[in-house]
Every structure is written in structure tokens, then in C-alpha cells.
Structure 1
Amino acid sequence: MIRKMINTVGTYVDYGGIANVDTEEMATEVLVLQIVTYTYKFKCPIAYFLIDKVKANLQSQFLLMAIKKLFEIGITVRSITCDGCVANIKTLQLLGCNVSPNNISPFFKHPNTQTNIHCIMDPAHMLKLCRNTFGQINGITSDAGEISFKYVCKLHELQEREDLKLKNRLSASHVNFVNKKMNVR
């Protein structure tokens, strides 16, 4: 008999021997590192770590290990792309990047070649963070008047009510994003 079901497999935190770990701690997430080529349509996961709220110092160790291992097999990492969460920004700082608006230096040195590895905040995720913040604040005052997410909602309501298909492609998912805050598809 075939049954539709979901099984959850519990396992402990495992950092792949890169750092010591308390074996009694249960993993709640998986951190996956993958490589993507610039010129070909190719991407491949290269490592995964069973984690429970990974810290920036560990994440930086994972990245350095991956960069070194890839270099050993002839692959040179040229950039790292991540979203803008606090742990990722701290990780980039630990690697040597400076993300301060007054002194931006978005790269660090490759451990083997001393060439620059550039760090890129994923634009889709960064736009979602801006949208989420814009949706949560009450508004911003400018010389031209109030800037508020409520006007985006009102525009959407008008388009729905009048059955308008405007070039802005504003949809219900753009204004009702609370349950899908970081969905970038």
C-alpha cells in the first residue's frame, strides 16, 4: 500500500569536522554551499552542514574551507553571493570585507592566490528586505509629502477594482507578503 506522508528525521548538529560541536544539540536547519559558474549554466552543491542557528565565525570557517578545497581541484572562487541577514554581513566582515557605507570594500583576499574575492548581496533578497521594511514602518516624510506603503496598497486596490493591468505588474502577492517575506520566485 502506498501512503502519502511526511517523515521528519531528527539529527544532531554536524560541522563536518571543521569545528567542535556539542553532540547533544539537535539540528534545525541545513546550510548548503554551492558553486555557480559565470559563463556556463552550471551549479552544484559542494557542502552541507547540519546547523542550529550558525554563527558568523563558523560560517566564515566553512567558506574559507570550501574556497581552499575548490582551489585544490582547480576551481578559483571569484565571488560570494548571499542575502543580507545579519549573520551573513558579520561573516563577510570576518573575512575582511567592509560594508560600512562610508568606506565600502566589498571583497577579501583569496587564501591561496591573494586575488580579490568579491562579495555580492543578492539583489532579489535585498529588494525584499527593503519592501519588508517599507511595509512595516508607518511612513517617511519628504519635501514632496508622505511616502508610505499604504499608497502601494491603495494603488493595488484601485487596479483590482477597475480591472486594470498596468505596467507596474503589481499583484496581491506584492502587498500581502507577510507569509512569504523572502520568497524570491
Structure 2
Amino acid sequence: ATLAQLVEHSLYEQGFLVHCLTMDGHQSNVAMARILGAQTDAGKQLIPYFQLSGQNHRTYILFDPCHMIKLARNMLHDVGAFKSPDGVVRWSYLAALDDLQNSIGLRFANKMTPNHIRYQNNKMKVRLATQLLSTSVADAICFLTESGVPHFENSAPTVEFIKVCCL
């Protein structure tokens, strides 16, 4: 509530015309957007803006894509696996792809390296997150699955998750 009051006071009561607020996905920012009238919760009607009383324009909410892709990568790494509507999404497929590429000394047309899997010392590098959750990595996992390579069975939900992250 305090953050919403701060936004309302500092931006609007001072006469600024704000068209968009860009933020990371921290819960305090999501709560602030909801208090101001935006609806960002999954499963509900998306209303990506708010309009304060006395204002004739909408202020849109934009979650910063760079932060969000890193959050998706970090979450998948930290939990290891989670259920999606398509099935179970697993970090282990990314690790298996890295292991396979390192063991044969070739990459399957992607930029993935051990630094992408062991990223903890480089958490802020957006490049590592976007190259890991990329179409080329999804395509490599899909190819290995279709080729019957061990450790890639049932990877379709993970491939779908990666492709959604790439949108």
C-alpha cells in the first residue's frame, strides 16, 4: 500500500503524465499494481493498466522482460521441476544437454556452455538466461528426444516452457 501511495503522490500529484511503469516481478510491485487497479494475476482477466481518479489516461504496467527471463531461469533451476498444463518441466534436460554437448565436444546449433548451467556467479547476465531459454536450446532438446537419446524422454513440457519463455 505504501508503494502505491508513493507512486500516486510522487508522480500524479506532482503533475507528471506517466504512460507506463516498468518494473521487475517482485511481489511488492505486483501488489502495488493491483492496489492501483491493474490486474496481473494468472488465471484472471488481464488488465495491464490502471487509471487513477481524476486522470483521463491509463498508465500501463510492463514487467521488464530482462528481469522476467532471469526469474524464469532461476525458478526452474532452484525448484528443479514443476508441473505445467503440459506436464512436468525439468531443469535436468538442460543439464543433460550441457553434459552431452561437453562430452562430444559439439553444440547442437545453440550457444549453451557450462556457464549457462552454472550461472550463479553471473546471475545478472541477461545473455546467459536468454541463450539458455532460447528456441535453439528447445530445438536441440526436441531433436535429441525425437532421436531417442537417453535422458531426454518426456521432455516435451520443458521444450514448450522454453518456447513460451522465448516469445
TM-score > 0.5 by shorter chain: yes
Residue correspondence of structure 1 range 1-185 to structure 2 within 5 A: 57-68=1-12, 69=14, 71=16, 76-101=17-42, 102-110=44-52, 113-140=55-82, 147-184=89-126
Q: Give the superposition deviation at 1:106.
A: 1.3
Query: Is the partner of 1:80 in helix, strand or coil?
Result: strand
Query: Is the partner of 2:126 in helix, strand or coil?
Result: coil
Q: Give the superposition deviation at 1:79.
A: 0.7
Contact 2:36 2:52 in 1 (8 A): no
Q: Give the superposition deviation at 1:154.
A: 1.6
Residues 62-104 of structure 1, C-alpha deviation per residue, up to 9 Å, x if partnerless? 3223422362xxxx31111111011111111121111222222
Unaligned runs of 5+ in 2: 128-167
Aligned residues: 125
Structure label with greater radius of gyration: 1
CA distance in 1, matches of 2:85, 2:34: 36
Contact 2:81 2:89 in 1 (8 A): yes
Unaligned runs of 5+ in 1: 1-56
Q: Give the superposition deviation at 1:110.
A: 4.9
Q: Give the superposition deviation at 1:140.
A: 4.2
Q: Give the superposition deviation at 1:145.
A: 7.4
Contact 1:81 1:122 in 2 (8 A): yes
Corresponding position of 2:139: none
The structure with higher relative contact order (CA 8 Å, sep 6+) is: 2
Across the aligned residues of Structure 1 and Structure 2, the Cα RMSD in angstroms comes to: 2.8
Contact 2:49 2:60 in 1 (8 A): yes
Going by fraction, where is strand more abundant, 1 or 2? 1
Going by fraction, where is helix more abundant, 1 or 2? 2
Contact 1:109 1:117 in 2 (8 A): yes
